[in-house]
Amino acid sequence: MIKNLQSQRGITLIEILVTLVLITLITILAASMLTNGLKTAERVKVEAEIRDEADYLMVQLLNELYLLKTSEIQSKQLQDPANPSHSYLVVRKTGSSTNHQLGLADGKVLLESATLEPSSDDILLEPESQIKEIKQGHYQITLVLKSTVNNRELELTTEVQIITDKEGE
**Are 110 and 103 within 8 A, CB to CB?**
yes
**Are 116 and 57 within 8 A, CB to CB?**
yes
Query: What is the pTM assigned to this prediction?
Result: 0.77
Is the pLDDT score of 168 beyond 50? Answer: no
State how far the Cα of 147 lies from the Cα of 40, in Å rounded to an integer.
15
Among the residue ranges 29-38, 90-99, 157-166, the one predicted with the least confidence is: 90-99
pLDDT in tens, 49-85: 999 999 999 999 999 888 888 888 888 888 777 777 7
Helix/strand/coil for 85? coil
Domain boundaries along the sequence of the chain: 32-168
Among the residue ranges 24-28, 40-44, 77-81, 121-125, the one predicted with the least confidence is: 77-81
Across all residues in the chain, what is the average pLDDT?
87
Is the pLDDT score of 7 beyond 70? Answer: no
pLDDT in tens, 140-157: 999 999 999 888 999 999
Name the pLDDT band for 87 (thresholds 50, 70, 90): confident
Q: What is the dihedral of CA 76, 82, 86, 90, to 10 degrees?
A: -20
**Are 87 and 130 within 8 A, CB to CB?**
yes
